[in-house]
Amino acid sequence: MGRLLAWGAITAFGWPLVAAAQAVTELPPVPVQAIRLDIPPLDLPAALARVPVATSASGKPGVNLSEALVGVPGVLARNRQDYAQDEQLSIRGFGARASFGVRGVRLYVDGIPATMPDGQGQLSHIALAAADRVEVLRGPFSALYGNSSGGVVQVWTAAGGPVPVRALEAFVGADASRRASAEARGIAGPLNYNVAVGHFRTDGFRAHSRAQRTSGNARLGFQLGAGRTLTLLVNTLAQPQAQDPLGLTRAQWRTDPRQAAAPAFAFDTRKSVRQQQLGAVWNAEGARDGVRLMGYAGRREVTQVLSIPAMAQQSPLSAGGVIDLAGGYGGADARWTHRAQALGRPLEWVLGASWDGQDQHRRGYENFVGDTLGVAGALRRDERDRVQAFDQYAQLYWHLAERWALLLGARHSEVAFRTRDRYVTAANPDDSGRVRYRATTPVAGIDYRPNAQLRLYASYGEGFETPTFNELGYRRDGGAGLALDLAPVRSRNGELGVKWQSRNGLGAALALFRADSRDELAVASNHDGRSTYRNVGRSRRQGAELAVDGELGAGWRLQLGMTWLDARFRSGFLACADTPCLAPDLPVPPGTRIPGVPRRYGSLRLERGGELGWRGGIEFEGVGAVPVDDRNSAMAPGYLRTGVDLGYGLALGDARLHLSARVDNLFDRRTVGSVIVNDGNGRYYEPAPGRSVLVGVRMEL
């Protein structure tokens, strides 16, 4: 019932507003950088969303990426209310099984990867308050970004303008949540700059979910003359505390959604993160040729206390209950773009290569000392993990006729994993090992232009997704070493779409898609607080997306995104029925739904007003019921959430003051915000907050 209400409400509010749109003036197309070629979004034979980031204008605090993705179809971004595990992010069902962080989806910030070479990504260091826009690429052309490209999300920092901006911003809301930030951007001679710092703190909606983080982001662009630019990018994150309330069983959620699981208190489950990153991008653009060189390096330190019982750590092969990670990462990308003609028609191509590496020292400790729980005890794991990816790619865009354009591409990827065990005992043999994966992923798309406002397109591509280090780390037979028998997931993706763009900027897009995968990964065993994985056969994700975005006239603006998605295993396999599970024993028949993926979901925002005077908006977010495990033994119910916001902006001489107030979950619905797929303890449910109020102030000088 919940999913039907969600779908119906979004549709009911969306279509009458689209019909009310009126043409005003024609706006020029804005090229995007998601495809690496100078192609306007309307002409791209792919599903692409380009979303301006204006979270403060809608009364949002600018903490989670999900705040900026309202109205983007295909994307399911779910705030766990657990800053120890990061947000859940999936695109067309890819990435839904991630129990923490982001996998299956590639992340970039200002063109620099936020996804490690093994496919594991993080969102916590993204400075949303300093961002200008988010670009979301879905479908076959995502494969041009290599491993784990079920979709691509790129966040771009705002560039400084000719009028300098100095801004102070503060938000205060429910559960003692508050965020303060300062930003300065502008142009000073050859320098284009944007520097932002922010601090966020919350006591959390649930018990034992207190968190705080401090972040800094700087974008410094230098004009070097003759079409050359140099951009320096600095990013830092300090998250000294993020308590983990763990998931709840369905009974616990129904009884009290604010509670935390008992082991969270017993072990004081928590996570701390520190990260520093530096990047540089050099561009040289000429009339026919362009060169781009990018390099980056960073260091990330993570300490996490888990709730693994002391009894489960008695095995000599146990890695303990405290994770201690520290290491560096970095990479480089070089590409050459050339513009020419073929048979008298415009032609553009790009050739490039990238290298990314991560060198990580992983240690594990017991999470107890004697009878004291939640502290680092005896060493149980000590290893050096390294992963490297070397890719080469090529793309070609050709206007082969007046109304036709062709986009081709290919990428060859090689991802190598290596671990060197430093914790070797008589009962714990050497776990060292290595494995290498290779794949070539071609893509092709064709675009037809009946008139200036309408586009029809078709595209096809192949993709692959390697296991991450977390999935390779344990063998399902209980032996020592990496799970070297795991194969990468291979997929074939097809898409048909239509796009329409009015002269005043209102646009609509409809896409039909299918992705067939083989060697899908699923849980093979679950015991002693650890999960192992195996390849289980074929799967299919297919569906439809609708997007409507733009000005409706008279100051009204609409963002609407709706998705229908059918994601199922096409091969039968065995799954774990209970915990502990040493070997799967329960048949999962073909046709079972892939966990973590709703059949229907969507979001809508309708707003009116500008920077000065009154402004306001209303939002709807609807999500259908979600299976929580491979067996589909239980479902998290669907929901429809409503949010409203009101703001006022006024000029104070040369300064501007913006005041805002926002109410989320207006009708105080009890909902499951996200699920922990295949949780070994049956604690699948992560509750979302009830009705909450947030007020904010922004001063621009």
Q: Give the pLDDT confidence of 69-116 residue by residue, as tens digits.
A: 999 999 998 877 889 888 889 999 999 887 777 888 999 999 999 998
Closest by CA to 626, choosing from 257, 96, 85, is 96
| Per-chain mean pLDDT for the chain | 90
CATH no., domain 2-334+346-700: 2.40.170.20
How many whole angstroms from its chain centre is CA 281? 23
User: For the whole prediction, is pTM greater than 0.85?
Assistant: yes
Model pLDDT, residue 78:
84
Beta-strand runs (E) in 528-668: 530-535, 539-553, 556-569, 573-575, 586-588, 600-608, 613-623, 626-627, 635-636, 639-652, 655-664
Q: How confident is the model at residue 528 (pLDDT cuts 50, 70, 90)?
A: low
Q: How confident is the model at residue 691 (pLDDT cuts 50, 70, 90)?
A: very high
Model pLDDT, residue 535:
92
Q: How confident is the model at residue 23 (pLDDT cuts 50, 70, 90)?
A: very low
Model pLDDT, residue 550:
93
Mean pLDDT (whole number) for 349-369: 96
Contacts of 235 (CB under 8 A, 6+ apart): 109, 125, 127, 215, 216, 217, 218, 275, 276, 277, 278, 279, 298
Asked if the model's pLDDT at residue 387 lies above 60, the reply is yes
Closest by CA to 294, choosing from 308, 306, 284, is 284
